[in-house]
Amino acid sequence: MRRRPGILRLAPGLTLVLLIGPVVAGLLGTLLPALSSRAAALGELLSWPGLGPALWLSVKTGVMSTVLALAITLLLIASLQGSRAFAALQHLLSPLLSVPHAAAALGLAFLIAPSGWVARALSPWATGWEVPPDLLVLNDPGGWALTLGLVAKEVPFLLLMALAALPQTDAARRRLQAQTLGAAPSMAFAVAVLPALYRQLRLPVYAVLAYGMTAVDMALILGPSRPPTLSAQVVVWMNDPTLATRGIAAAGAVLQLFAVLAVLALWRGGEVLARRLLLTFATHGLRGRKAEPALRGLALASGAGVAFVLLAGLSGLALWSVAGLWSFPDALPESWSLRIWAQAGDGLAQSTWTTLVIALSATAMALALTLACLEAEFRHALRPGDGALVLLYLPLLVPQVAFLPGLQQLALRLGVEGTPLAVAASHVVFVLPYVFLSLAAPWRAWDGRIALSAHALGATPDRVFWTLRLPMMLRAVLTAGAVGLAVSIGQYLPTLLIGGGRVETLTTEAVALSSGGNRRLIGAYALIQMILPALGFALALLLPALLFRNRRGMGVGA
Amino acid sequence: MFRRHFLLATACIAALPHLGAAQTAPEWEAVLSEARGQTVFWHAWGGDPKINDFIAWVSGVAQDRYGVTIEQVKLASTADAVARVLGERDAGVTSGGAVDLIWINGENFAAMKAEGLLHGPFAESLPNWGLVDVAGKPAVVTDFTLPTEGFESPWAMAQLVFEYDSARLPEPPRSLATLKDWIIANPGRFTYPQPPDYMGTTFLKQVAYGTLADPSVMQAPVDEATYAETVAPIWAFLDEITPHLWREGRAYPQNEPALGQLLADGEVDIGFAFNPGRASAEIAAGNLPESVRTFTLEGGTIGNASFVAIPFNAAHRAGALVVANLILDPEVQARAQDPSVLGFQTVLNLAALSPQDRARFDALDLGIATLAPDQMGPALLEPHASWMTRISQDWVERYGVAQ
């Protein structure tokens, strides 16, 4: 039972190697061929006429969506936190964290297309449209539909991250103090809480920015196509049948990586400017009383807008999965049918099973590593530096198209590629950061005096861990596990590349199906994709309540 | 021991010239016994549930008859499988590869054949090869003007047909010139998938056939000296219609299913497909209204064949050969032609079949929107692949990046 003390101490290092190793190995595998033998590819890339617009589009949609998502998140917390509307929004938005990007994008596409649900609901009685109008709403050259999709998908993530970080900022007291000095609630938040909060939120924001610039599945569904964003074009080149464009694809991936780094540097500059601005507000004694009602209205409208876009889009897909003929401008299907569910039943059951096995193994591995790290930190009084945190985020910051092809080559050479185990291992790279981030704060907040009392009564550190800390932390551990499940279930590129196409999960199937545009089938897959993580979150709520039903101090409300 | 046996068997198959149709040569017996118990990973585009169901059905037959299991690897793009075999070769995986069988044609086939990534020749040694209509359907041995030379085996014929909703459009335009007039008179009601998508380039080929002074030049590789002048009428045609396309040509659907969805949503009035039975099958499935009909253009539309090929390093080569042969079986071919299943045109020569097998085809109800074989019009040959590579590159420069 008793572990040698040295082993646990190695856990943080081991975890970082497991995270960084694949990213570095994959990057080298992708970049070396691009830089050395295929120098000509760079010339080809530069002579592609769409390069300028594609790069600009990547930067614009990435930056705009991050700015908007961050602004909406902060606005919600600043002006609504503590209100009933905020609690309602929080309950609506948290389960949507687990919605895969592709499903959210397809739902949004059906919602806003000229032949989509909104137009159907208003036609022909309000609009007079007997046939869909010829309006460029989806795939618009400006990338606004893509930006909207990214914003809707990232607000739940940032909100969750912000709410997790808020308790560590002593927000309530800071805010109270600013308000007693006469600042309106939102201004009090901006000058007193935001600086401390943003320090915690910085890396999640960077991850959102990097993701927004490099998203492939969303860009293919919602983004423009003449030209598409750079990352979508890189994937098109990778898939070119003549095999002649693989060099240019690698060069494009390198350019994408540098673009992300450059934009991150610019963003850092923007942070400095924003800080100056906040300081000016504070030193000039701006209290923002007049703006408060407008800000509240804006927060309510944008929060409700995000929730509507996601929920209505996904309901639309769910409805399609049981729809018979559903032509424009009918607001509801003309007939109903369970045919798709009957037809897809076997395939669905099988890929659900594979998805679950992979997600559970990856999450278990990530949880074990996270717990080992946190416990080592506690027992040996280790203090992770900022550098370690950046490394933790590395897999989320490096564009997937830049390192996964190299990682696939590595897996091929090792002969492990194409096995569910290898896929689960690759998922750990992406699951671990999320699990760690969701578990670290509650774990560190545990009252250390409990351990002290137990030690005084003669309990070993192991016994304290297994019989006291872990049970008391069960809900936090399960919640982190549910987040991990959701992340693993949503992975597309790692599953496709490391799985060699032979490991079929709900997400790989759903994206393959989305190329066929069959809304009914996509709806069925998206529904299961949402239900699985939702079950995880439900379990995280119910299990502790059930296990500790006769422990008043550990109730769900506590 | 097994391994040597297996190599011997496939070597024999490859070396043999034409075998008679109704034979079970000892070499084939050896392939059959080698294949028993194998699982064939068939990489096939997975975007259409009807095709996926059909492959699952073939898997059942293969299991019953030969003890071979088929596992469909559903691809978003066939190029994924090509890239995967190439990646394996680059990584030194020369046997035991992940891909056993690929649904392939056109550029993907040309690329794999040129890179030496295919096993073969094997197709003309398959026992069912004698039933294939080589004389009547030359596309079964010529893939985009590239002779297949037995490196891929055909399994379905396709021909471009246009689809329209007769409730909204009583009389469709039946030539390229009248189509142009119709597009200009009805702005926003027609589009085509964005090249280099396969269906998009197919539309460009159709435009080339209708506008080029002498379309037969496209059967030879591009001649750089005269290229620009030759294709000028294509750009003239597109320049005229583009401002009147769906979304004024500022956005295009991604692929054939996306175009089909636009027709189903009523965003366009005319769509097109490579499967003449698609409209009927979609009506039967409740995805299109019953008033949808199909038509072809005067002078004919592009036609080609779908094939299966076996990578050089396939782990289950014997099983793959058995599957390639099985999908040429009259029972399987008749099922593929059934519009309620797939509606694909058969590659077989119906006259060569036994009366019993021919009855399977005669019994098919082609469906409400499907043209009878004698209404289809001529199937035009695919141009040489170099034409489409050049034309879609130029298309991207002219229309594919924002002005």
**C-alpha–C-alpha distance, residues B352 and B131, integer Å:** 6
* pLDDT band at A209; cut points 50, 70, 90: very high
* Token pair listed for A448: 């250390």
Question: Does an H or E element contain B45, and which?
Answer: strand B39-45
The pLDDT score that the predictor gives to residue A14 is 86
d(CA A417, CA B389): 33
List CB contacts of A348: < 8 A, sequence separation 6 or more: A341, A506, A524, A525, A528
Q: Are A303 and A287 in contact (CB under 8 A)?
A: no
Would the CA dihedral through A274, A280, A285, A290 be positive or negative?
negative
- The pair of structure tokens assigned to B213 is 């002074």
**Portion 141-160 of A in contact with B at CB < 8 A:** 141
Q: Which residues of A touch B48 (CB under 8 A)?
A: 516, 518
What H or E segment, with its residue span, contains residue B69?
strand B69-75
At residue B257, the pLDDT reads: 85
B301-309 and B101-104 strand pairing = antiparallel
- pLDDT value at residue A348: 85
Nearest chain A Cα distance for residue B174, angstroms: 23
Cβ atoms within 10 A of the Cβ of A117, count?
20
Give the residue from A136, A140, A220, A242 with the most B CB atoms within 10 Å of its CB, the best one to mutate: A242
Structure tokens at A311: 């929920």
Tokens representing A258 are 């540098």
Among B295, B349, B353, B383, residue whose Cα is nearest residue B107: B383
Q: Is the peptide bond preceding residue B121 cis, with omega within 30 degrees of 0?
A: yes
Pull the structure tokens for residue A167. 């308790």
- ipTM confidence score: 0.75
- B39-45 and B69-75 beta bridge pairing: parallel
Q: Do B79 and A347 touch (CB under 8 A)?
A: no
B108 to A241: CB separation less than 8 angstroms, yes or no: yes
Q: Look-up: residue for tokens 């496209």?
A: B218
Between residues A413 and B232, the one the model is more confident about: B232
**CB–CB contact B46 A344 (8 Å):** no
Per-residue pLDDT for A434 more than 50?
yes
Chain B residues within 8 A of A418 when measuring between CB atoms: 98
Please report the pLDDT score of residue A486 as a whole number.
Answer: 85
Question: Per mean pLDDT, which range of A72-76, A397-401, A551-555, B221-225 is the poorest?
Answer: A551-555
**Could you tell me if A322 lies within 8 Å of chain B, comparing CB atoms?**
no
- How far apart (Å, rounded) are the C-alpha atoms in residues B133 and B318? 25
Q: Please, which residues 346-405 of chain A have a Cβ atom closer than 8 Å to chain B?
A: 346-347
Number of other CB atoms surrounding residue A124 within 10 Å = 12
For A338-391, what is each residue's pLDDT tens digit? 888 887 777 788 889 999 999 999 999 999 999 999 998 888 888 777 778 788
- Residue A291 to residue B263: CA distance in whole angstroms: 48
| SS3 assignment, position B163 | strand
DSSP run (H or E) holding B119: none
Interchain proximity B266–A246, CB inside 8 Å: no
Between CA A36 and CA A29 the distance in angstroms is: 12
> How many other CB atoms sit within 10 Å of the CB of residue A21?
13
A11-47 pLDDT per residue, tens: 888 888 888 888 888 888 777 766 655 567 788 888 8
Which residues of chain B have a CB within 8 Å of the CB of A140?
Answer: 250-251
Q: How far is A238 from chain B (nearest CA, A)?
A: 8
Closest in A409, A502, A515 to B98, CB measured = A502
- Measured distance between the N- and C-terminal CA atoms of chain A, rounded to whole angstroms: 32
pTM summary value:
0.78
- Burial label, B14 (beta-carbon count in 10 A; 0-12, 13-18, 19+): middle
CATH pick for A1-36+345-549 out of 3.40.50.620, 1.10.3720.10, 3.30.460.10, 1.10.150.110:
1.10.3720.10
- Evaluated on CA atoms B52, B32, B85, B2, the torsion sign reads positive
3-state helix, strand, coil in chain B (%, to 5): 50, 15, 35
Chain B residues closer than 8 Å to A135 by CB: 247
Whole-angstrom distance, CA of residue B91 vs CA of residue B4? 24
> Greater confidence, A128 or B71?
B71
Listed in sequence order, the DSSP H helices in A113-143 are: 117-122
A53 touches chain B (CB under 8 A): yes
Question: Which pLDDT belongs to residue A456?
Answer: 93
The values of phi and psi at residue B235, to 5°, are: -70, -35
Give the pLDDT mean for A74-101: 81
Distance CA B337, CA B345 (A): 5
Chain B residues lying within 8 Å of A351, measured CB to CB? none
Q: Which of A114, A242, A344 sits opposite B267 (nearest CB)?
A: A114
pLDDT digits (tens, 9 = 90+) for A234-291: 877 776 655 667 778 888 888 888 899 999 999 999 999 999 998 898 888 778 888 8
pLDDT of residue A36: 59
Distance separating alpha carbons of residues A210 and A66, to the nearest angstrom: 9
Write down all domains in chain B, each with its CATH number in brackets.
Answer: 2-155+306-366 (3.40.190.10), 161-303+378-400 (3.40.190.10)
Output the six-digit token pair for B11: 């070597």
Would you call A515 and B76 a contact, using CB atoms and an 8 Å cutoff?
yes
Q: Do B47 and A50 touch (CB under 8 A)?
A: no
Q: Are A404 and A497 in contact (CB under 8 A)?
A: yes
Which residues, given as ranges, of chain B have pLDDT below 70? 1-24, 373, 402-403
Whether A80 shows a pLDDT value over 80: the answer reads: yes
To test the contact with chain B by mutation, choose from A497, A514, A515 the residue with the greatest count of B C-beta atoms within 10 A, namely A515
Cβ of B87 within 8 Å of Cβ of A328? The answer is no
Are B43 and A501 in contact (CB < 8 Å)?
Answer: yes
Q: Kindly report the nearest CA distance between residue A420 and chain B, in angstroms.
A: 14
Question: What's chain A's Rg over C-alpha atoms?
Answer: 24
Give the mutation candidate from A239, A248, A320 for the B interface (greatest B CB count, under 10 A). A239
Q: Is A533 helix (H, G, I), strand (E, B) or coil?
A: helix
Type of residue numbered A221 = I
CA distance A286 to A288: 6
- Three-class DSSP category at A323: strand
Of B87, B258, B289, the CB nearest to A412: B87
Q: How many CA atoms lie within 13 A of A178 on its CB side?
A: 26
C-alpha B235/C-alpha B222 separation (Å) is: 17
- What's the pLDDT score for residue A558? 35
Furthest C-alpha separation in chain B = 71
What distance in Å separates the CA atoms of residue B359 and residue B339, rounded to the nearest whole number?
16
Asked if the bond preceding A494 is cis, omega within 30° of 0, the reply is no
Element holding B278 (H helix, E strand):
helix B278-284
Q: What is the pLDDT of residues A464-521, one digit of tens each?
A: 999 999 988 888 898 889 889 988 988 888 888 788 767 888 888 877 776 666 778 8
Task: Tell me whether A280 touches chain B (CB under 8 Å).
Answer: no
H helices of A190-229, in order, are 194-214, 217-222
d(CA A266, CA A112): 33
